[in-house]
């Protein structure tokens, strides 16, 4: 994708969805952190179904810790890898209480020091909770970035760095959400909806299909 097209690409996505948000359900920064931690290799839909019940009885680090391994597993057993995720979430809650006064830290270093929290999870929290212009490259963003030519790369980190460099500052805070939603509902892994895609004219692959 040519540099001149990047602004038009994101202007079009913004016009269609001026205030994008994550599809994970949460009412606090801790709930967001817990939901994102649980969402690894799982859909937002499956996580939301589990956390509705979980957060109704435990939505603070102390309350989740009080559930214990078995109690927490009972709430999240419909999510893939629930046993290891339960261990990570409990360990994270313990660290939040012991080292951060029960609050979710606002730095990447502190977030990534939490069990089960990698760079992508930290980026989601920094962006959605604290408004930082981060780019959490999941499978959707990785695919869209490569397929459109926006920021081709062989690894998520390479794509992330290119996106941060190529996306104009006015779009950076919301770009993560636009790209995820575009990949989830339009630029799908199988059978992308190029014929109805609003940004196909600037997409390297879409233009070839159209011609």
Q: Which of 138, 174, 188, 204 does the annotation list as catalytic?
A: 138
Q: How far apart are CA 109 and CA 6, in angstroms?
A: 30
Q: pLDDT digits over 51-98, tens only?
A: 999 999 999 999 999 999 999 999 999 998 999 999 999 999 999 999
Note whether 164 and 135 are within 8 A (CB): yes
Q: Which of 2, 49, 120, 154 does the annotation list as catalytic?
A: 120
Which helix H or strand E contains 194, and what residues bound it? Answer: none
Stretch 14-34: mean pLDDT = 96
Stretch 13-41: mean pLDDT = 95
User: CATH 1.20.120.160: does it fit domain 29-128?
Assistant: no
Stretch 124-141: mean pLDDT = 95
CA distances, 14 to each of 72, 114, 121, 144, 179 (Å): 38, 33, 24, 16, 11
pLDDT of residue 169: 95
Which helix H or strand E contains 203, and what residues bound it? Answer: none
Question: In which band, very low, low, confident or very high, does the pLDDT at 41 lie, cut at 50, 70 and 90?
Answer: confident
Domain spans in the chain, listed from the N-terminal domain onward: 3-20+134-210, 29-128
Question: In which band, very low, low, confident or very high, does the pLDDT at 4 lie, cut at 50, 70 and 90?
Answer: confident
Note whether 197 and 144 are within 8 A (CB): no
The CATH architecture annotation of domain 3-20+134-210 reads Orthogonal Bundle (1.10)
The sign one gets for the Cα dihedral 32, 53, 23, 205 is positive
Question: In which band, very low, low, confident or very high, does the pLDDT at 38 lie, cut at 50, 70 and 90?
Answer: very high
Q: Is the pLDDT of residue 211 over 70?
A: no
Q: pLDDT digits over 145-204, tens only?
A: 999 999 999 999 999 999 999 999 999 999 999 999 999 999 999 999 999 999 999 999
Q: Is 138 a catalytic residue?
A: yes
Question: In which band, very low, low, confident or very high, does the pLDDT at 208 lie, cut at 50, 70 and 90?
Answer: low
CA dihedral 25, 151, 41, 120 (to 10 degrees): -60
């Amino acid at each position: 994708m040519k540099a001149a097209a990047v602004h038009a690409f994101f202007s079009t996505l913004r016009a269609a969805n001026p205030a994008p948000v994550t599809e994970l359900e949460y009412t606090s920064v801790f709930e967001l952190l817990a939901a994102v931690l649980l969402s690894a290799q799982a859909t937002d839909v499956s996580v939301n179904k589990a956390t509705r019940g979980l957060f109704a009885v435990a939505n603070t680090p102390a309350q989740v810790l009080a559930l214990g391994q078995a109690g927490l597993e009972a709430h999240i057993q419909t999510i893939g890898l629930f046993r290891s995720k339960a261990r990570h979430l409990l360990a994270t809650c313990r660290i939040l209480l012991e080292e951060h006064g029960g609050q979710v830290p606002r730095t990447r270093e502190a977030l990534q020091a939490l069990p089960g929290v990698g760079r992508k999870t930290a980026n989601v929290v920094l962006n959605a909770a604290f408004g930082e212009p981060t780019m959490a490259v999941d499978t959707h963003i990785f695919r869209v970035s490569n397929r459109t030519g926006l920021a081709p790369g062989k690894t998520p980190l390479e794509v992330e760095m290119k996106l941060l460099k190529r996306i104009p500052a006015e779009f950076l805070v919301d770009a993560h959400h636009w790209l995820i939603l575009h990949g989830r509902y339009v630029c799908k892994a199988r059978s992308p909806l190029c014929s109805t895609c609003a940004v196909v004219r600037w997409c390297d692959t879409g233009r070839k299909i159209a011609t």
